[in-house]
Structure formats: C-alpha cells, structure tokens
Amino acid sequence: MKKHTKAQVANPKGKVRIIAGLWRGRKLPVLNAQGLRPTGDRVKETLFNWLMPYIVGARCLDGFAGSGSLGFEALSRQAKSVTFLELDKTIANQLSKNLQTLKCDQNQAQVINQSSLEFLKQAQNQPHFDVVFLDPPFNFGLAEQAIELLATNHWLAPDALVYVETEREKPLSVPTNWALLKEKTTGQVSYRLYQVS
C-alpha cells in the first residue's frame, strides 16, 4: 500500500473508494507512485467488518499511509481521529488534499510527512491510539520494526487493536501480550488483526 520512494508523477492516476459510512461510494484520487498498492476493497471490507464494534470514536493511526485508504475508511465510519504517516512528500500532500475535499478539520485528521519508524521512536507518557493500521512496503522487515516501537514506546491504549498486512504467509513476531483475533490470506497478501491485552 505504501512505498518509500518518490511519486513518479505529480498527477493522480487512480482512485480509492470509500466502502461505507458517511462518505460511502466516494472516490478519492491516488498518485501513480512506484510500489503504491492500496488495500483492495475485498480485504478492506473484511477488515472493517472485524473492526465494526470498535471503530466508532476510536483514535487511529494509519502508518505507512500511502493512499490513505484505511484511514479514510475509518474516518467515514466515525473514528474520532486518524493520524496519517507518510514519508513521501508528494503523496503526503495528496493525502492532505483529499482530507480537504472531505472537509476534515485538524481535530479529526492530520498528515505527518515523516518516516513511520522515526515517528514511532518517540517515547510516550500516555497512550495515543486505539486502532493502528500497518501496511508497509513488503520485504523490508518494516512491520516487525513498527510493532516493536508501538509496544515499547507506549503508543497503544489498553485493548488496542493492530492490523498488520504482510507478504503471504510471512511469519510475524509480536509481543506476548498481543492476541491474534483474526487472520486471512488473499492472493499474495496475509492480513492479521491483533488485540493488546
């Protein structure tokens, strides 16, 4: 869904669709950037069915945000707030434009143009997030690094949920107090939902 490379073109070439909620059916432009792979509608629908009891009023983090597909869907389904982390400046600017299109204010959503790992290295005095989406570029071990930083730097609220998308059937090391709630594989992608106990 996300890639730490410069967008190849400055013009939007694709769209992501919001499936349900306040902006159901709305399509938002996505830049044509190398390695950018928005989460497919089928996977996204499954994920948000899993999250249905938890998403309203949740404080969310969309790490490695890319197209912002998961964060926009969360906002549409009445999450309290979403923080989008995106390293590529051009892609981050497109996220900000899409939030303006949806008329989101800064209390609802903010885009931070920074490496997700660098952001998560900041130790916290109190937890910030109820739901976290991690869909990093594949084959770089970024999911494991982000998981470790989320856990050790106290980003997660009690009973927080963490969604992780990785290469198909990739073993994933998580803290011992993270319970695997759901797991599925579609095509070349494995996706899992954990709860922090």
* Predicted local distance difference test score (pLDDT) of residue 8: 41
> Can you give the pLDDT at residue 182?
97
pLDDT digits (tens, 9 = 90+) for 118-142: 999 999 998 899 999 999 998 899 9
Which SS3 state, helix, strand or coil, does residue 75 take? Answer: helix
Q: Are 134 and 146 in contact (CB under 8 A)?
A: yes
Q: Quick one: pLDDT at residue 144? A: 96
- Residue-range domain boundaries for the chain: 7-196
* Whether pLDDT at 1 is above 60: no
CATH fold of 7-196 reads Rossmann fold (3.40.50)
Quick: pLDDT tens for 64-117. Answer: 999 999 999 999 999 999 999 999 999 999 999 999 999 998 899 999 999 999
Of 10 and 144, the structure prediction assigns the larger pLDDT to 144
- Residue 165 CA from chain centroid, whole number: 9
Q: pLDDT grade, residue 7 (50/70/90)?
A: very low
pLDDT at 191 over 90: yes
pLDDT of 6 higher than 60: no
Distances (CA, A) of 167 to 32, 123, 136: 22, 29, 10
Residue from 33, 14, 136, 138 nearest 89 by CA = 33
Cβ(154)–Cβ(179) below 8 Å: no
pLDDT of 9 reads: 41
Cβ atoms of 166 and 137 within 8 Å: the answer is no
